Structure 1
């Protein structure tokens, strides 16, 4: 299997390795900052993966920690890779680049969605309509860029080393005609096609399930092939989202996802429901009821 190298994940791994070596050496962040003649916040942001470190900075930091030779060169090389630009970089002003970077290197994604079809499973017309509705404040050009990136991300499902995607959709997702009748029916048909891929599992959480473990909101759990890269949870919101990496946070969301998928319809039943909704949409019957 080919490793999908993502600068986002490399930066995160580098930060964790630098922090571990600093703590092993018994050196404080303030001491490192003084030696490098930079701010303590910069050192902290490097360690948390929020700032890209130069190979020179990494070499100097490792020298402070007493790390030399092949071990040092390996981390310096990771620093070089972390400074490379991902394919999504030109669109960084219109998307959550960190999430796309994590997704690009993930082995699997487990997601729960309450309102819309996840980006990896959206049609072009649905994506366009959804983004326009959710972001009335952005320009048509920005919408086009977001749609372009969203569609390009979908190659992760069909490339030589595809990610495994397991999605649980609230039934509300199937019942809201984003983009209108024609667009939504085509989207539901596409969901059925995508669910036929061996690496894609789609479940529907029906209204009849009542209250459930996922009522606090939408999230995705990303798992990576290298043990050096721990799982991460992305909880989405209107301002972009929140990344959660602490062990107890991960355990909580894995627990929640397991309960949601247990409450949802089985995959084959879910596909049957989606097919039925494409032929007999709830929104048309509701409109007749209001007539």
Structure 2
């Protein structure tokens, strides 16, 4: 039998890296993509099929899709939109161009790549599209406004697409991690340094007391943090369940926040989150 194939974005580290290797070991043909050639070369040496894909560049995405179709003979069974970045900042300190930049990768890239994949899946009569969201896709944390907003928007877009794809053979699924071991914090530093003038902020003291320490100091795992393999297990489940769920939650904070979001008044939830 022909191996099922999946295209995964953001495979240089963290969730994408672990998912690529985990699915490869389970017999899937994995196309593990990255933004940098050196990361692709490293994954290739590790036994994966890897090539460039930048979710902020339409031409790069189109070239990656063409590469997939050339290698598979025109099919693709699944897409895992995973690549994303964040940076900590108060909303009032986020320049609009910075917001455009993060939306380009975290939302518009998902949308563009998904639109390119749907015709392939529609023609073959089946497919699964997995979008990596976050606990921050349905609850907001202070100093996470840019990232929050991309994930909230992505959840709305994904929910709509899931409804629209009913009867097409294409399942659209949200993966909702919480604290997962990754390089998200480390990778946010260049974006923070590029965009955020925290020294001139009215919240300078808060940056010094809360943000900079967390951003620059290695503090070990967060409370309830799970390894990236916990996400890979749910990705596997989402790909293989006969009737996949709309959402696959991961980590205790994600489950707890979903309950709090449903049961608590908004002001009470705000009070609770503000003390975390």
For the criterion TM > 0.5, the same-fold answer is: no
Give the TM-score taking structure 2 as reference length.
0.33
**Max Rg structure:** 1
Please report the TM-score for the alignment, with normalisation by the length of structure 1.
Answer: 0.31
